[in-house]
Amino acid sequence: MAQIPLPLSFDKRFSLDNYISENSDFVRQNLTALFDETGEPLIGLWGGTDSGKTHLLNACAHYARHCGVQFHLFDALQLLESNAESFNEFPFGSVLGVDNLDLLSGNRDWEEQFYQLINRVKAGEMRLVFSVSRNPRDIGFRLPDLKSRLMWGLLIGLQTPDDDQLAEVIKTRANLLGLEMNDNVLNYLLTHYSRKLSEQMQLLYRLDHAAMTSKRKITIPLIRETF
């Protein structure tokens, strides 16, 4: 592919308001400030699986649409299928979001391209929010200057939710799907199935389909029948 890839579509259900973590207020304040041009123009979100990185980038797209800001959202895997040289035609004042940026490490062309893009950010031409699986200083980029550029911005560490936050996230996601979930049902899911957020979300989507198909509420008998 020689052309720049099309930006990803985003999930409108995910917003900054329904992001749940111990430092959610700090995260929201800084991400909204990036779009409002009152804060850091370069923000890196780093954390392990289920820490909320993809949720926040979708939430950024939602907030950008609300503010009327031009926002381009990409995943690094998507970028690897295209030509790095074509990835520079972003208008002045636009905001770029890249999920899983660390997947580009070791690819010299893409590392060079993001080095140049961050120089544009530093010059005030555009803004960038990205996610990586760990602190950029621990990522094996071949281009040392890219690593230093990534660390030039505000880096926000995200934590995997604890048990209380996990329950709150599941309830919130259920509400976003239009599902009623009482505490007995929630406790049953957390007791009998994986406590990993990503796996609980897969269960929730399957229950959503089962509830719609059978026109029933989510109950423990429905969970047993579905799984």
Q: Are 25 and 69 in contact (CB under 8 A)?
A: no
CA distance 29 to 24: 9
Give the closest residue to 126 by CA, choosing from 69, 44, 58: 69
Q: For residue 162, what pLDDT is reported?
A: 79
Q: For residue 11, what pLDDT is reported?
A: 67
Q: What is the pLDDT along the chain (227 residues), one digit of tens a residue?
A: 334 455 555 566 788 988 888 888 999 999 999 999 999 999 999 998 888 898 999 999 989 988 899 899 999 988 998 888 878 778 888 899 999 999 999 999 999 999 999 999 999 999 999 999 999 989 999 998 999 999 999 999 998 877 787 888 888 888 877 888 888 888 888 888 888 878 888 888 888 888 888 888 888 888 888 88
All domains in the chain, ordered by first residue: 16-157 (3.40.50.300), 163-226 (1.10.8)
- Beta-bridged to residue 48, according to DSSP, are none
Pairing of strands 127-132, 154-157: unpaired
**What is the DSSP track for 196-207?**
-HHHHHHHHHHH
C-alpha torsion sign, points 178, 27, 110, 91:
positive
Give the closest residue to 127 by CA, choosing from 93, 156, 151, 154: 93
CA distance 154 to 143: 20
C-alpha torsion sign, points 33, 159, 20, 209:
positive
CA distance 4 to 88: 9
DSSP 162: -
Amino acid 25 reads D
Amino acid 79 reads L
Q: Which residue has the tokens 């111990």?
A: 22
CA 35 to chain centre: 16
DSSP 157: E
CA distance 6 to 35: 21
Rg (C-alpha) for the chain, rounded Å, is 19
Q: For residue 111, what pLDDT is reported?
A: 95
